Structure 1
């Protein structure tokens, strides 16, 4: 048979995987512009409203390895579709919420639902027999597609959230999840390969104690070091992603739309680099380049202040686009190669947990550095931490012999 139909079928599968994976990064940042309105309408303090951010981070951090384990045992299609249903249900619950408690529950549900997409998508990609049968792209190509959509939506989240709040109110940020969930289901039902029959599911492998498989990590030191690189990288990325716009608006006086436009440089550079990073079999080089970019970005934060020229202000997110683009996809490709054959879903879930550990460390760093409001001094503290982390990543990467083997 001609190859063209197989190629079309491959794209038909990769597209719903990417659409499903969008929900997690966009929800992690889209809520930020809505917090003030939510606090006012539901009669809670802004500090309490910030709990909505933490709720999703914690739920996602715990849900990612669980979803990965369920994908390994029950099959990725079931987990992927169940996650889409939860995302749509959470959107309805949040849009109709009349109390903070209900809204908090909706955010937890969003975290659990969106946590299902990425580990199950990687499990689908890892199935080599299905990949050959369906004419899928090479795994690195699918990883590039997943990483690119995640990077773009992560940075676009605040912009989209701000526009929705301005036009329709904060409830619209939850209705987005209804659209994402329904669209994911519509694209996936006929495209995702069917899992093994229920009667052949190895239920004995579904041990709750193996979700956070410490023994797997202990037996695989290279994988443990990759998780550490995830934590360090995303501590810096989230610190810049959340902290730099605050400084732009509170110190430099940028309107939200202008600060969002500046931050698009980060996602733009990251997306371009993702396309190249996944094409190379070597992983050590891209990781070192990303760490150097992070070091340069940290140094730039040390000198940027209220009087800095605009080109220097824009240069900061450009520099941090290097680690976001290179380190994110390269570390994920490394997990793909280092994970046990039968445990990719669990291993991928743990990598996403490591990412959200970094996000929570970043929020703590910003709380210590900024206090009540962003300042030049606080930004310098963030820059010093970023530079120190970059040095640590350089040493960790340069001395990792497993990476040298490619």
Structure 2
């Protein structure tokens, strides 16, 4: 299974075979046997998809007793399915499994929050005061949601007609608002920060539009997408197709509009015009879907591992930290060009190239097949492939589907 992650995994392998910070690993490991509970050869921060996947791979590489994962949550969620939960096509229950069931057997689960990371001493402190030392660290802390950066939230979610597919507490409220829709504006937002799954804020709009048409309410609805981005989507090929969809379905798109306040009691959402500072516009809504501002984990932001913006500072080819060679990272917490936001993709000019597509059909087109892949095939691959460290991405499938020509 290692063949999919070179040269990144190769770098980790090399690290395992050479002295770390001047101390031979074998000696360090032997000397710490007495306090084995406090010391691990491999410490993984975060039990999300990145953390669990890497802990499964590390277990096979180093042995389960040498690996620990720090994760406070009792439940592990497959979050991409929340788009379908918000549209009433899936249940929240189907998206989650107990963390204990996805943790690789034999790997130590430290059920705490990370409080402090000290890479200079190779230690991590958890919120219950426990200090854990490591030889290698993999940081997979993901993104933090910041509903509180929007005035009137999160308390506004106590009111009806407002939801958000980005949190387990608010995703069912999206479906409730959609079901109870009578007439007026259905407003969907995209914040002025990097986000995870940049397509999700639009997907719920398209699914809501389809639901309103199916239930005969679409004529009484004005569907509005207010995005802080200067583009509809960062990859030009898909953006062009999405503009066609928007036109065809009579959806209103307003660029450079950033949600700054929700007056849930009045059903009003206030947006600022990012191109004209100080200019705001109030939208009344019958339904509001909020994509919250997001940012790096606060623990990471205040640590020596972060770059100026607070993201984990990694080498993009090896996923190895630029300053601490025994630290690696994975997922949304890193400052990699596999950007969390479509705007960053623009800045990196990656959109100038052709996207690498897995299937031998135009993936910019709407297709029922793609829906079934998202709803049925991908969750299966996630639970039974990715999290067990067996699925290394779509590369081999891409080769098969394109008959080895791409």
Structure with greater Cα Rg: 2
Q: Which has the higher contact order (CA 8 A, sep 6+)?
A: 1
Q: Same fold (TM over 0.5)?
A: no
TM-score computed with the length of structure 2 as normaliser: 0.28
TM (norm. structure 1) is 0.28
